[in-house]
Each structure stands twice: as structure tokens, then as C-alpha cells.
Chain A
Amino acid sequence: MSVVESEVVFTWAGFRRGARQSVPLIAGMLPFGIVTGITGLSQGLSLAEITLMSAVVYAGASQLVALAVWTHPPDLIAVTFAAFVVNLRLALMGPVLAPWFHKFKGWRVWLSLFVMVDHNWALSVREINAGYRDAAYLLGGGTVLFVAWVAATALGAVLGAQLHLPPGHPLFFAALGAFVAVLAQMWRGMGDLLPWAVAAVVAVMVAQILPGTFWYIVAGAIAGSIVGGVRDHRRRLVS
């Protein structure tokens, strides 16, 4: 991190650079957004509700998880907790951008963090490490991706209304498939085997014990993460 805090600026040029470099990422975001829109519609949400959710929450994975267990009226505690747990990773991502934002206060920081998603965060980390020092880069990319995300989920809702799919139609696999694809990318090697196995077993067991709720997701994640984290921590203490 060679960035000196006093050098950091927040300009239109940085905003435009972030926006421009985020455009190619829209292609990867589109299928996920369309799937989220179709899922929302199949769970009985209107186009207005789906679009509102994308604009207010703006975090695809948590929207998809919450929509998968959506009820009418919604279980407020369940969906709020789902959003919190699925998005906990964002709490770890923000601090990595401190070399850019330490110097600033107010809207520059808090608006930039609102549009921070995995894609423009990854680009920003690359730019920080390369010595780039315009913090508006994150907001520029985030604005482009925000508009694309809201549009993609709305498009999915419109498409879903045209298709009229029966429950159990194979197209609904797309929602589950999005997570399977993400998982295939997340696998880091044999070290993941034990925590992932624990998570799978606990999740399946809790799903049997508490059917119709989403707690199995949280229970599996907590059990698997603790097993993996404690094991790694002990290994480091020994060596």
C-alpha cells in the first residue's frame, strides 16, 4: 500500500474512470439479475416491489436467498436476518478500502460504501495496490453497476410475467444454479472440505427439524465457519 493519505483525491476524472472500467462487468451481472427478477415474480412480488428491493438492498445474493424463502406476509425477522448474514462479507470488504477513504468524511465515504459490491470492490483493490489515488473510482463503478442491477432485475420480472411458468419448471433451477456456480468458484482446495462438509450436514439436519424456515442456512454457515476457523487458528498457534 504505497498510497500516502494526503495524496488521495475525489474527482470527476476518477468517477468516470471507475464507471468506464465497470461497464464490461455488466455482462456478468445480467443473468444473475434476470434470475432474481424471475424468482421474485414467481414468489408473488410485483414489478414495483422487485425493483424497489434491488434499489434499496442492492445485493444480489441476499435478495435471491430472501426471495427463495419469501412468504405472504413476509417473515420480517427471517428476511432481515438473511440479508444481514449473507452480506456480512461486505463488512470485511469495506475496511480494505481504508487507504482511499481514511482522509474523507461524510457523503463521499457513506455513499461510496452504499454502492460497494463484489465487482467494483475487487477493481478498487487492484487500483489501490497499483498506487491509483482517486477515491471516486469506487462510486463511479458502483453507480454504473447499480443502474445495471436495477434494470436487470426489472427485466427479469417483465420476462417472467410473459412466460407464465408452472411451479417445478426447470427454468427455476437458474436461481439455485447461480449459487452452485458461485460455489464452484469459491472452492479454494482441500482445506475447505471439512468446513463445507460440516455446513452441508448441519444444514440438511436443521432443514429436516425446522421445515419451512430458512434457519438451516444460518445454522450450516455458523457451524461450518467455526469448525474451519478454529482449526486454522489452532494450526497457526502450533506452527
Chain B
Amino acid sequence: MSADIWHLDPWTVLAIVLMGAATYACRGGGYWLFRQISPSPLVRAILHYVPGTLFLSFVVPALVHGGLQPTMGAVATAITMIYARNLGLAIAAGVIASYGVWMLR
């Protein structure tokens, strides 16, 4: 294990560099582009919904695939987040609920 932690796979490094380039294209490119042109109201209205629908599209199929264990965790996390507004606490509540289902099997 001690030798493994410094391992750098060339394909993984290339993937990381490409991800970094794509991310900076968003950070810097957005600023540059919007300095030149201003997007239409329709484009702005569509982009307004991107963050929420994106994360939802990641979460829902994972819950459908994972079944009761992650679903109960998700319910516990959502309820804790709405009432406590604390990310660490909400994740902990979800892990505990998920652990409960795991133990019962």
C-alpha cells in the first residue's frame, strides 16, 4: 500500500488534466464569453434550471438502482438538511439511516 499511494497512471493523469481544462473553460470561458456577448433571455431561463436538474439526474437513478438502503439514507439526509441546514450533519444522518437498513438485512 505504501508504494501504491504515489502511483500515477498515465491515462488517469490525462483524464484529470482534461477535466481540469473543461472546468477552467467554464470558469474563465464564461467570464470571457459574457464580456463579449450577452445571452438571450431563453438561454438564461434554461441555464437557471441546470444545477438542480443535474444533481437530481445523478441521484434518482442511483436510488432506483440501490433500493431501500440509499433511499432511506436520502430521506434522512433531506429531512435533516431542511431542518438543520448543516451539510455534515445531514450526510451523517443519511449514513446512519443507511446503516440501519444494512444491519436489518
Contacts and interface: CB of A to CB of B under 8 A. Distances in A.
A182 interface: yes
Contacts of A91: 26-27, 29-31, 33-34
A10 interface: no
B102 to A, nearest CB: 5
Interface size class of B (residues with CB under 8 A): 35 or more
B46 A180 contact: no
Contacts of B23: 57-59, 62, 83-84, 87, 90
Interface in B50-105: 50-66, 69-70, 73-74, 77-78, 80-82, 85, 87-88, 90-91, 94-95, 98-99, 101-102
A200 B7 CA distance: 38
Given A173-B69, A174-B94, A228-B48, A87 B57 contact: no
A158 to B, nearest CB: 8
B16 A49 contact: yes
Interface of A (DSSP majority class): helix
Interface of A: 27-28, 30-32, 35, 45-49, 52-53, 56-59, 61-63, 65-66, 68, 72-74, 76, 79-95, 97-98, 101, 109-110, 113-114, 116, 157, 161, 168-171, 173-174, 176-188, 192, 195-196, 198-200, 202-204, 207, 216-221, 223-226, 228-230, 232-233, 236
